[in-house]
Structure 1
Amino acid sequence: MTSLTDLFQGVLADSGLLPLWQTLAPWLALDERQLIFVVATPVFLLLTLWEYRRIRHDPRLMNLPEAIRNFALGAGYQLTELLFAGIVAFPVFALCYHYRLWDLPLTWPVALLTFIGVDFCFYWMHRCSHRMRWFWAAHVVHHSSERMNFSTAMRQNATNIFNGNWAFYLPLALLGFNPVWIGVAYALSLVYQFFIHTTLVRQLPAAIEWLFNTPSHHRVHHGRNPGYIDRNYGGVLILWDRLFGTFTAEDPQRPPEYGITTPVPNQRLLTLWTHEYVDLFRAMARPGRWHQRLQHLWRPPEWQRESDRQG
């Protein structure tokens, strides 16, 4: 019987990545997706420094200690992905790909379909990351800053690999899309999304604003104003929000107020990573029937049990 390790190695071999993986870091989950992040991070840092020089005069837009903290959060995210993706997510992708429905060679049409499929899955993963508390517990750190700048894009949770949001992309592997190239499309999507975390770009041409996620659309997504909360979930394309009724345009007369509705207790890295998990498990620990207590995992973050609402 073929082991999960063999399946994983087979996926790498199919992509042509196996020799590189064995040479550079055979004990790590170093794949093309991670290589993209490694190459892109210095670019992100340089652009953040450039942006800092443009907006450092306004503490509402830029705070240097917070920007440094954001990059530390991003480093924690990349480190846990590097260390644990190979034992947590990759074997599952390899297993799904082993039982794929079709063999899809990497041609330009398949590459385009991979991009569209990944962006579609990202929309639903992102939407669930706001509307299901288990996923929100990891994603909340990205929204907890009250500033919007390039460093905010790096503000990620080191627990992402463990909370399972990568499972939203498994159907693509079952269909026959190579998991390595799913990862590449996902990494390139995140690279694109770095550039939409800024207040320096106001409105782009109308055709671009209609089809793509832009800084204007993403500022709405980070807003905590009524009417802005839980809107504009798209990754590269804003089309999915238009199709599924979650799109809201930025109102110049009502600029977004960034952050979350319940402030974080403090700004220590461990608190930023874990505070929502702590609140989630405290809510589940309150007396009640097990099926009611477990609902906190998949209900929206603001959901309360009937007994809590009456109290």
Structure 2
Amino acid sequence: MPFPEMLHSLWRESGLPQLLNMLPPWLALDERQLVFMLATPVFIGVFAWEYFKIRHDPRLVDGAESLRNFMLGAGYQTTELLFAGLIAFPVYALAYHYRLLDIQLTIWTGALLWLLTDLCFYWMHRSSHRVRWLWAAHVTHHSSQRMNFSTAMRQNATNIFNGGWLFYVPLALIGFNPVWIGICYALSLVYQFFIHTTLVGRLHPAIEYVFNTPNHHRVHHGRNPAYIDTNYGGVFIIFDRLFGTFAQERADQPIEYGIVRQPESNGLLASWLHEYRDMFRDVSRRGPLKQRLRHLWMPPEWQRELPDSERDTRDRSQP
């Protein structure tokens, strides 16, 4: 029996499909969510191991912040669970209904899907740094000033509403089954959990050239001018090399973690919503409607020219 068919047979025999069918249709517990659920105990165990390694250095880990990070991750998973079936799944189903090809899962098509999923992740991630509407959700992940495994769990509960998942819809339109797209995406995020650490140095040059590693991802989380908006890759770093967004850590610039303007509060709601507040505050300022709406899709640092009275008000409100 071919390996994909064997996996499908095991999936049917596990009884999980029947369990999923018993759930309300709006409760979107799918294979992707199951991957996250199965991986979560591993994440907690790995973080516990790391914590005991670095707990004496407050620059690397803070217990209270780490707990908040896992709570932020739980909020993200909750909204995904409740709303993905209402928002994202119908779009994927529609795209797959009108698919261009009927692609059967084999080792080769699976490898191709894995690569294409990472390409989609690259452009989604890059857009999440350069489009303010998407950055308003992604900023939560970057606002920690520490780098450890709990930082990977630091996610925004509004992600499902921001539309980043639309970057993967073309894969369904091409002809890849949305179930396998979701599994590839989930396994990619599992991989990315393990690159959020300071305990792993540089790996073999061949690995560093092809894959996204802890070394590359630490650079991505830096707020140093030389590191901002670099190393967007998920599993692979080759797309950053191809599209000119790759950066190496520099000996003369130790990495400073966080964002350029740190939020005023570390609370859960502030971590999720502070950039939305700032974005809509900018949109609400007087001016032509077209210029005001540009705050939604321009880069986070973009600001339009304002009347003197409005500019003075904005300057006083900046942290």
- Is the aligned partner of 1:190 residue 2:167? no
Structure 2 counterpart of 1:107: 106
Specify whether residues 264 and 23 from structure 1 end up closer, same or farther in structure 2 by C-alpha distance, changes over 3 A only.
same
Q: Which residue does 2:159 correspond to in 1?
A: 160
Aligned to 1:96: 95
The structure-2 alpha-carbon separation of the partners of 1:25 and 1:191, relative to structure 1 and needing over 3 Å to count, comes to farther
2:285 maps to amino acid: R
What residue number does 2:21 align with? 22
Q: Which amino acid aligns with 1:160?
A: N
> 1:263, CA displacement in angstroms?
1.1
3-state secondary structure, aligned to 1:136: helix
CA-CA distance at 1:21 after TM superposition: 1.7
Instruction: Output the CA distance in 1 between the equivalents of 2:89 and 2:168.
Output: 12
Which residue identity lines up with residue 28 of structure 1 in the other structure?
Answer: L
Q: What's the % identity of the aligned pairs?
A: 66
- Distance in 1, matches of 2:250 and 2:208, equals 14
Pairwise mapping of residues 157-236 of structure 1 onto structure 2 (< 5 A)? 157-236=156-235
Q: SS of 2:286's equivalent?
A: coil
What is the CA–CA distance in structure 1 between the aligned matches of 2:61 and 2:206, rounded to whole Å? 30
Deviation readout 1:48-88 (Å, 9 max, x if unpaired)? 01000000010000000000000000000001000100001
> Contact 2:26–2:86 at 8 Å: present in 1 too?
no
* Alignment root-mean-square deviation, CA: 1.7
**Pairs within 5 Å for 1:71-86:** 71-86=70-85
* Runs of at least 5 residues in structure 2 that lack an aligned partner in the other structure: 1-10, 312-319
Equivalent in the alignment of 1:283: 282
| Partner Cα separation in structure 2 for residue 230 and residue 122 of structure 1 | 15
Q: Specify the alignment match of 1:134 in structure 2.
A: 133
SS of structure 2 residue aligned to 1:192: helix
Distance 1:64 1:287 in 2: 43
8 Å contact from structure 2 (residues 233, 240) kept in 1: yes
| Aligned match of 1:12 | none
Amino acid aligned to 1:65 = A
Note the alpha carbon deviations across 1:278-311, whole angstroms, 9 max, x for none.
1000000001111111111110000011237994
1:208-266 alpha-carbon deviations (Å, 9 max, x no partner) = 00000000000000000111011000000000000000000112342210000101110
SS in 2 for 1:307: coil
Matches within 5 A, 1:28-107: 28-107=27-106
Question: TM-score scaled to structure 2, two decimals?
Answer: 0.90
**What's the CA shift for 1:107?**
1.0
Alpha-carbon contact 2:32-2:186 (below 8 Å) kept: yes
TM-score (normalizing by structure 1): 0.93
Q: Once the 2 structures are TM-superposed, how far is the Cα of residue 27 of structure 1 from its aligned partner?
A: 4.5
User: C-alpha separation between the residues in 2 aligned to 1:105 and 1:23?
Assistant: 28
Residues 261-276 of structure 1: matches in 2 within 5 Å?
261-276=260-275
What is the CA–CA distance in structure 2 between the aligned matches of 1:111 and 1:122, rounded to whole Å?
16
- Structure 1 residues 25 and 203: alpha-carbon distance in aligned structure 2, compared to 1, 3 A threshold: farther
Taking a change above 3 Å as real, the CA distance of residues 18 and 93 of structure 1, as seen in their structure-2 partners, is farther
- In structure 1, distance between residues paired with 2:86 and 2:166: 14
Give, as a single letter, the amino acid of the residue that structure 1 aligns with 2:62.
Answer: N
> Counterpart in 1 of 2:300?
301
Distance across 2 between alignment mates of 1:170 and 1:286: 35
**Equivalents in 1 of 2:62, 2:167: separation in Å?**
34
1:22-55 per-position Cα deviation (integer Å, ceiling 9, x unaligned): 1456551011100000000010001101000000
Return structure 1 stretches of 4+ with deviation > 3 angstroms.
Answer: 15-20, 23-27, 308-311
Supply the distance in 2 between the matched residues of 1:308 and 1:272 (Cα, whole angstroms).
31
Cα distance in 1 for partners of 2:280, 2:17 equals 40
| CA distance in 1 between partners of 2:190 and 2:24 (Å) | 23
Q: Distance in 2 between matches of 1:209 and 1:25?
A: 44
Q: How many residues align?
A: 298
> How far apart are 1:110 and its partner, in Å?
1.0
Moved more, 244-253 or 223-232: 244-253
Change (3 A) 1:24 1:256: same
Larger mean Cα displacement after TM superposition, 249-258 or 60-69: 249-258
